[in-house]
């Protein structure tokens, strides 16, 4: 018999991805009575289908690429790719074969109560999970994240296709692969599978891949991918999809017909807001993002964190927002959410690190913009590195204030070089200070000096 009596708790968290799990854990640690609700796997997209397994694929693929660079640099290496260790590692070390037992135990050990099911808002401070009704004294936190979006392409629903959730479960690299979408998810997987021997085509409807990045970054990555044998088609849309024997055929808008063993759809994300009862708390039921204030409040007694806030589809954003929301729920003082120095990395090789504004964004914000860019291969470390040294550092200065408002670092460990650029934007370090500090020789981050010189020369 189901228990229909309302159960009073302090906080109910709906969705236990990185954002929700962090909120539930920290609030329970602080002594509140917390119920965490998850309909699928505690931990969310990142450990089971996203960041972690995809980066295990990328890491393995990068090893293959490095081994292929031995020739002419350090002797000879014969490389025989085998995807089996990657598939094994994803199952054992990342996903526990897509089992969240350990994550549930971790949550409960911190004192939160776990409920498996779909949480739905049932009015202010009320959440239903099946027959159970929870009343939240302090409030409700929505952290329902995103899932792969499916574009409306004729024929797509009639063919078997992969999303990121299927791709990370692959046990072998397909003989051939068409990737719809030239964003971060599509390109990381395209390059990883290609390095394992798949014949890969990427179809991107915009006029360049990684369209959110600086055009220079898109150009470098496109050149590298094409040099590795990936067929990158930009400005093309998939008009129709059909089964073709054991493969899938994609008809593009220019009349081309592409065939591959597998089709990976990586065209964006669908927010987990549909049907969760937003109207019952006075919000728009059709909303695609849940707007919050700088304390992550989405309404009275309602907080939202993670992908659904639209502030950036990244695990580190979900964690960052979780900490802001937790402080607010606990009535503690703390800095409000601030996205001026939002940073992220696309883990292609070369990696693309980005912080803050692009040049175009800074210009449309009306800033007095100066930019400077320097190629990695022209710098000492880039020359020493040799093969695999494509990349650049690009700086975007608000000359009115004499500080960086954005930067991009493409190259080997471009995501690590990003750290100092992020600090410069976040702390608004004066340009004169950046020009006069020490940069160890010969590091990749020393390319910053060349980028600063280019910026000064352009002034």
User: Which of 228, 234, 253, 223 minimizes the C-alpha distance to 179?
Assistant: 234
36 binds ligand FAD (CB under 6 A): no
The secondary structure element, H or E, covering residue 446 is none
* Distance of closest approach, residue 78 Cβ to ligand FAD, in angstroms: 31
306 binds ligand FAD (CB under 6 A): yes
45 binds ligand FAD (CB under 6 A): yes
| Residue closer to ligand FAD, measured from CB, 144 or 267 | 144
Write out the E strands in 67-160: 113-116, 119-121, 126-129, 132-142, 146-148
Task: Name the one range near ligand FAD by CB under 6 A: 38-46, 215-223, 383-391, 420-428.
Answer: 38-46
**Residue from 272, 350, 372, 406 binding ligand FAD (CB under 6 A):** 272
Task: Name the one range near ligand FAD by CB under 6 A: 1-9, 305-313, 370-378, 414-422.
Answer: 305-313
Site for ligand FAD in 158-197 (CB under 6 A): 164, 185
The secondary structure element, H or E, covering residue 160 is none
13 binds ligand FAD (CB under 6 A): no
Site for ligand FAD in 47-86 (CB under 6 A): 49-51, 54-55
Report residue 138: phi and psi, to 5°: -90, -35
Half-sphere exposure of 363 (CA within 13 A, CB side): 6
Contacts with ligand FAD: how many residues (CB under 6 A)?
Answer: 38
| Residue closer to ligand FAD, measured from CB, 127 or 393 | 127
Cβ pair 324, 295 in contact under 8 A: yes
* Distance of closest approach, residue 304 Cβ to ligand FAD, in angstroms: 9
Site string for ligand FAD, 389-428 (x = CB under 6 A): ----------------------------------------
Neighbours of 67 (CB within 10 A): 14
Neighbours of 400 (CB within 10 A): 11
**Residue from 106, 291, 295, 316 binding ligand FAD (CB under 6 A):** 316
Name the token pair of 27: 């609030």
| Residue closer to ligand FAD, measured from CB, 9 or 429 | 9
DSSP letter at 91 equals I
Q: How far is CA 416 from CA 146, 185, 350, 421, in A?
A: 27, 19, 12, 10
Give the separation between CA 37 and CA 14, rounded to whole angstroms: 5
User: Which of 100, 127, 126 minimizes the C-alpha distance to 40?
Assistant: 100
Which residues in this chain contact ligand FAD in the complex, by CB under 6 A?
14-20, 37-41, 44-46, 49-51, 54-55, 118-119, 143-146, 164, 185, 272, 276, 306-307, 313-316, 318, 347
């Amino acid at each position: 018999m189901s228990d229909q009596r309302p159960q009073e708790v302090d906080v109910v968290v709906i969705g236990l991805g990185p954002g929700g799990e962090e909120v539930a854990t920290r609030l329970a640690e602080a002594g509140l009575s917390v119920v965490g609700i998850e309909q699928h796997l505690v931990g969310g997209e990142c450990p089971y289908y996203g960041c972690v397994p995809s980066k295990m694929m990328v890491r393995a693929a990068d090893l293959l690429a490095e081994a292929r660079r031995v020739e002419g640099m350090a002797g000879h290496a014969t490389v025989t790719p085998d995807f089996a260790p990657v598939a094994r590692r994803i199952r054992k070390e990342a996903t526990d074969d897509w089992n969240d037992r350990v994550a549930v135990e971790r949550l409960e050990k911190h004192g939160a109560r776990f409920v498996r099911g779909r949480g739905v808002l049932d009015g202010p401070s009320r959440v239903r999970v099946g027959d159970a009704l929870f009343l939240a004294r302090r409030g409700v936190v929505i952290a329902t994240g995103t899932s792969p979006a499916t574009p409306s392409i004729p024929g797509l629903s009639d063919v078997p296709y992969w999303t990121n959730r299927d791709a990370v479960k692959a046990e072998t690299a397909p003989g051939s692969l068409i990737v719809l979408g030239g964003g971060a998810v599509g390109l990381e997987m395209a390059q990883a599978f290609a390095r394992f021997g798949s014949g890969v085509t990427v179809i991107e409807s915009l006029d360049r891949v990684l369209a959110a990045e600086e055009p220079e970054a898109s150009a470098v990555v496109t050149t590298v991918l094409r040099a590795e044998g990936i067929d990158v088609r930009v400005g093309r849309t998939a008009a129709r999809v059909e089964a073709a024997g054991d493969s899938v055929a994609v008809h593009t808008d220019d009349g081309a017909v592409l065939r591959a063993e597998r089709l990976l759809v990586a065209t964006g994300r669908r927010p987990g807001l549909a049907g969760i009862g937003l109207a019952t708390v006075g919000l728009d039921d059709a909303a695609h993002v849940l707007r919050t204030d700088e304390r992550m409040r989405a309404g009275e007694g309602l907080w939202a964190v993670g992908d659904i806030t639209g502030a950036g589809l990244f695990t580190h954003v979900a964690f960052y927002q979780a900490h802001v929301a937790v402080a607010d729920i606990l009535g503690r003082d703390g800095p409000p959410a601030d996205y001026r120095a939002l940073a992220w990395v696309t883990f292609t090789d070369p990696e693309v690190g980005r912080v803050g504004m692009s040049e175009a964004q800074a210009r449309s914000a009306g800033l007095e913009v100066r930019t400077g860019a320097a190629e990695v291969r022209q710098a000492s470390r880039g020359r020493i590195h040799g093969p695999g040294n494509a990349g650049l550092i690009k700086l975007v200065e608000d000359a009115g204030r004499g500080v960086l408002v954005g930067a991009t670092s493409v190259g080997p460990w471009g995501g690590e070089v990003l750290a100092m650029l992020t600090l410069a934007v976040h702390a608004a370090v004066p340009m004169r200070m950046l020009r006069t500090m020490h940069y160890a020789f010969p590091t990749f981050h020393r390319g910053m000096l060349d980028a600063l010189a280019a910026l000064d020369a352009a002034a």
